[in-house]
Amino acid sequence: MQASYDSVDDLAAALRRAASAHDRHEKELGHPDPDWPDWYARHMVNERAGQERLR
């Protein structure tokens, strides 16, 4: 699956949404997530595809 962004601002907004969602994810885990780059990537691709966001 691929994702593309229309502009730098669009990508930055997607990163901010992913950061917020990942913060909630880490709180649920109860510890830092060392695999956060993979989590962000899956979240952002799924979001762009219109699929349910990761938790």
For the segment 1-55, what is each residue's pLDDT rounded down to a tens digit?
888 999 999 999 999 999 999 999 999 999 999 999 999 999 999 999 887 655 5
Residue 12 in any domain: the answer is yes
What pLDDT sits at residue 39? 96
- CA separation for the pair 21, 15 (Å, rounded): 10
User: Which residue range(s) make up the domain with 33?
Assistant: 8-48
What pLDDT sits at residue 35? 95
Residue 37 in any domain: the answer is yes
Residue 26 in any domain: the answer is yes
How many domains are contained in the chain? Answer: 1
Residue 36 in any domain: the answer is yes
What pLDDT sits at residue 1? 81
Residue 17 in any domain: the answer is yes
Residue 21 in any domain: the answer is yes
Residue 54 in any domain: the answer is no
What pLDDT sits at residue 16? 97
